[in-house]
Amino acid sequence: YCVEFRTESLSHHCALETRPYARWMQYLREGHTVCVACQPPAMSADTQRCSGDGHNAHGEKILHWEAIGNSQCQGTWKKIRQLEHCSCPLVHSFIFT
């Protein structure tokens, strides 16, 4: 499944990332909608959910995120909706780890 979030805030460290494999962090923006996929390697065997997916969080609850590979690139987002059938666009799409 996938979850759409609206980025509320992010640290300035995301824009400073220049390593080739992590350059995607430069494109994160406040107010943008991002789509995050929950795939089997990241799922809990017990719950079949990914940690941090905002389960039971709706509306105005602020959730925290951190980019893999640069712990200083972090911020907050709000859950918009969960999609049982992923249709994430090629840009602004991420994977829970």
State if pTM tops 0.85.
no
With cut-offs at 50, 70 and 90, classify the pLDDT of residue 92: low
Give yes or no for residue 94 having a pLDDT over 80: no
With cut-offs at 50, 70 and 90, classify the pLDDT of residue 90: confident
Could you give the maximum distance between any two Cα atoms of the chain, in Å?
A: 38
Model confidence pLDDT, tens digit, residues 9-38: 999 999 998 898 888 888 899 999 889 888
Residue 36 CB contacts under 8 Å (≥ 6 apart), including other chains: 2, 3, 4, 5, 53, 88, 93, 94, 95, 96
